Structure 1
Amino acid sequence: MRISDFRLLAIGQTLSWVGNGFQTVALAVAVVLAGGGPGDLGLVMASSIVARLACTLFGGVWADRLQPQHVMVGSDLVRLLAAAAMALMFVSDGYHLVLLCGLAAISTGAASFFDPAFGALRPLLVPAEKRQSANATFSMLQTGSQVAGPALGGLTVAAFGASAGFTVNAVSFLASTVAALMLRVRAERGPRTSMLTELAEGWREISKRDWLIGGLFSATLYHVANGIILVLVQVVAIERLGGASAAGFIAAAEGLGGVLGAAVALRFKPRRLLRAGWLTLLLMPLWALAYVWPAELIAVIAGAVIGYAGLIFFDVAWETAIQDNVPQRMLGRVSSWDYLTSFIAMPLGNVLAGPLSTTYGTDRVLIVCAGVLGLSAAVQLLIPGTRNLTRTLTTPSTTAPPKPPELIETAGI
């Protein structure tokens, strides 16, 4: 019995997402135990940010030039080698900051090619009427992996050392590679032009849709505010709500909320899905405001569940709207612009958190940022395309040709 392409990708990606959680823990532990401290860790993280900024748009172009799974395989193999090199470095006690920064940059740069390809591939795996369910399933798996991965990674690193965490991550990339190699679906690809021309084509595809370009600008504002909040709420949780245990409970609540939001998206399928998504994103300010009032752990936990449920439902609605309305041959580039605007904004918010809280006070900054979250979502409802975009369950005219019947039959969820 053949495994459907959707299930293959879901299995491979879930293992990879869990494995990434192992590396997140292993990297911090390895650097600190090697005597690097926060300065070295900051340089490693900065190397990753620079690589992400440099590579994301080019990753989108290559995702639209080649078969998406081929780009994913190349990315996974590069990340496998980078994770294995990190494991070797720390198991041999040969810590070198410059080499570690280089490996982190290579790994993140490769991921910048993987993500747009993954976005371009997904709508090919299921019929149009199942896209929302497919996106919800991936969101549920990713959210669960982001909770399980660091938890399992912490136990593994504590028992066997940081090298074990890197090794598990390398093996997870191998699993993802095997799954991608087994995919049978194929995308239609046209003639190539210059890199800059193709980048510009991706932006033109965005700019001619009011709901898409408006959403990207609002998402940028949203992620700046959220970047500030994500720093400050950690401080509040540790200083006011009970320390590390409180932070752990809140993180678990955020994961639970994400799973619930994805579960709702599996069942609730309004015709104006994008409008519903922006409405549910209005729940996120409740999470941020709970840290200010009533500023009790139970209220923050409840706010985290509600807010993150709304956030993940929005993510499903946004991804589905893009897949429904952007030609498949342009999805990689459109996805890369989407990733880039979000990625630029979040670190900017992280940097601003400290100076703003010192100048104006943590509670005041949280209130303002919660207002920005709400405003960035509410303003989208003023855009005609956002309000009126309706799911027609038909693919754009320039998408890949229909799959053979035998492939369609095995692409169910």
Structure 2
Amino acid sequence: MRISDFRLLAAGQTLSWVGNGFQTVALAVAVVLADGGPGDLGLVMASSIAARLVCTLFGGVWADRLQPQRVMIGSDLVRLLAAAAMAVMFLSGGYHLALLCALAAVSTGAASFFDPAFGALRPLLVPAEKRQSANATFSMLQTGSQIAGPALGGVTVAAFGASAGFTVNALSFLASMVAALLLRVRAERGPRTSMIAELAEGWREISRRDWLLGGLFGATVYHVANGVILVLVQVVAIERLGGPSAAGFIAAAEGLGGLVGATIALRFKPRRLLRAGWLTLLLMPVWALAYVWPAELIAVIAGAIIGYAGLIFFDVAWETAIQDHVPQRMLGRVSSWDYLTSFLAMPLGNVLAGPLSGAYGIDRVLIVCAGVLFVSAAVQLLIPGTRRLTRVHPTPAPPSPEPELAPL
């Protein structure tokens, strides 16, 4: 039953990830063609970020209160309706910025409930010894979808218009919802308390583990620096490395690197997986520094493959460590705190990119931020829990003794 549930969830979620790629393209095209421009698109994106920040922690609480698939079904239904409303709005020829911002916020807010529930559900679908392989498989599917979705979305939107992209995304949420409806696995759930008390309980679960608390703070610093880098490398790619085509090649290399990292995680299973994950994350500065030296397209492509392979291997190691060592009834809340640190830090880095590069120059900022990436990962190896944490495997039950025969 567990394996069939795993395949069902993987299929539904892959279609949803691909569909998200359609909406990413459709949204940008629709706003630009409606003469909205960068300002309107920025407001839509800001609405999504604000909704994510507001809803993420509450999504984690409800993921732990209810069966995870029930939260996922509700989230998919809301996102389906939001995507369908966007399709209708642009198909009818109308463009209402306030409505589009509201729909984007509703859709992203619903996703903030889906993600912790998805994280809480995954370890229930496979035996403990297969969690790393399952997480690597999901990473591979997600990375592949992030490559295929925008590519297919671009072709579809070019041929049939932005409304077609929103429609495909709505249908992908329907597929994800059907998959979640068919899942048979059930999670044990404890008594409810107040929302604040449950949020605090989730934070206490994090703070009593040095590797988890240190990892969240380290990831926050990492994501601020990475947010700066992600803006500046686009500028370098377009201005120095060959324009939009260079940016496309680099994006493809990042996706390829992610697939390589997930493939390695499928096969390489060290006992101290988390320590190995932080070590592979030390490869990401290679990608950032390649834009400064040698600053050639081929070197940046190679750095992207190497860096993103390390990043995805780390993601698998991190998710597996949480699933192994955090009680299942707390996974939603712990995951939501994890997501929140990322979504707080990344936009901050994006905002800082312009002022920092204007004051100190792009190359200097990239070098410093690459150093921050390295230090934020290397410091984790000084934490005792990070160095010592091992994979959890269920202990096989001892064989039952042979029944004694009654004397004749």
TM-score, with length taken from structure 1: 0.95
Letter in 2 for 1:268: F
Kindly provide the CA deviation profile for residues 134-174 of structure 1, in whole angstroms up to 9, marking residues without a partner as x.
00000000001001101110110001000000000000000
Structure 1 distance, partners of 2:92, 2:316, is 43
Structure 2 distance, partners of 1:355, 1:218, is 23
Letter in 1 for 2:249: F
Structure-1 residue corresponding to 2:10: 10
Are 1:127 and 2:120 counterparts?
no
Kindly provide the CA deviation profile for residues 224-254 of structure 1, in whole angstroms up to 9, marking residues without a partner as x.
0000000000000000000011000000000
Is contact 1:123–1:323 with CA below 8 Å preserved after alignment? yes
Is contact 1:281–1:377 with CA below 8 Å preserved after alignment? yes
Larger Rg: 2
Q: Specify the SS of the correspondent of 1:5.
A: helix
Q: Specify the SS of the correspondent of 1:4.
A: helix
Structure-1 residue corresponding to 2:365: 365
Is contact 2:250–2:304 with CA below 8 Å preserved after alignment? yes
Letter in 2 for 1:222: Y
- 5+ residue gaps, structure 1: 396-413
Aligned CA-pair RMSD: 1.0
Q: CA deviation at 1:394?
A: 3.5
Structure-2 residue corresponding to 1:170: 170
Are 1:103 and 2:103 counterparts?
yes
Q: CA deviation at 1:392?
A: 2.6
Structure 2 distance, partners of 1:205, 1:212, is 9
Are 1:290 and 2:290 counterparts?
yes
Structure 1 distance, partners of 2:2, 2:225, is 46
Matching of residues 149-164 of structure 1 within 5 Å: 149-164=149-164
Structure-2 residue corresponding to 1:231: 231
Moved over 2 A (4+): none
Is contact 1:381–1:387 with CA below 8 Å preserved after alignment? yes
Letter in 2 for 1:204: R
Structure 1 distance, partners of 2:2, 2:352, is 51
Structure 2 distance, partners of 1:233, 1:341, is 23
Structure-2 residue corresponding to 1:270: 270
Structure-1 residue corresponding to 2:71: 71
Structure 1 distance, partners of 2:49, 2:295, is 33
Structure-2 residue corresponding to 1:48: 48
Structure-1 residue corresponding to 2:89: 89
Structure 2 distance, partners of 1:128, 1:357, is 46
Structure-2 residue corresponding to 1:252: 252
Is contact 1:324–1:394 with CA below 8 Å preserved after alignment? no
Are 1:191 and 2:205 counterparts?
no
Letter in 2 for 1:266: L
Letter in 2 for 1:212: L
Structure 1 distance, partners of 2:352, 2:97, is 27
Structure-2 residue corresponding to 1:408: none
Structure-1 residue corresponding to 2:335: 335
Q: CA deviation at 1:391?
A: 1.0
- Assess, with a 3 A threshold, how the Cα gap between structure 1 residues 303 and 17 changes in structure 2: closer, same or farther: same
Structure 2 distance, partners of 1:46, 1:392, is 40
Letter in 1 for 2:111: A
Letter in 1 for 2:294: P
Structure 2 distance, partners of 1:84, 1:129, is 40
Kindly provide the CA deviation profile for residues 190-223 of structure 1, in whole angstroms up to 9, marking residues without a partner as x.
1100000000000000000000000000000000
- Assess, with a 3 A threshold, how the Cα gap between structure 1 residues 273 and 2 changes in structure 2: closer, same or farther: closer
Structure 1 distance, partners of 2:203, 2:186, is 24
Structure-1 residue corresponding to 2:351: 351
Q: Specify the SS of the correspondent of 1:137.
A: helix
Structure 1 distance, partners of 2:131, 2:285, is 28
Structure-2 residue corresponding to 1:398: none
Structure 2 distance, partners of 1:2, 1:294, is 49
Q: Specify the SS of the correspondent of 2:25.
A: helix
Q: Specify the SS of the correspondent of 1:293.
A: coil
Structure 2 distance, partners of 1:3, 1:207, is 33
Q: CA deviation at 1:94?
A: 1.1
Q: Specify the SS of the correspondent of 2:219.
A: helix
Are 1:39 and 2:39 counterparts?
yes
Structure 1 distance, partners of 2:373, 2:39, is 31
Q: CA deviation at 1:381?
A: 0.2
Matching of residues 317-332 of structure 1 within 5 Å: 317-332=317-332
Structure-2 residue corresponding to 1:405: none
Is contact 1:257–1:308 with CA below 8 Å preserved after alignment? yes
Letter in 2 for 1:242: G
Are 1:141 and 2:141 counterparts?
yes
Kindly provide the CA deviation profile for residues 362-391 of structure 1, in whole angstroms up to 9, marking residues without a partner as x.
000000000000000000000000000011
Structure 2 distance, partners of 1:93, 1:359, is 44
Q: CA deviation at 1:393?
A: 1.3
Q: CA deviation at 1:3?
A: 7.3
Q: Matched residues, percent identical? A: 89
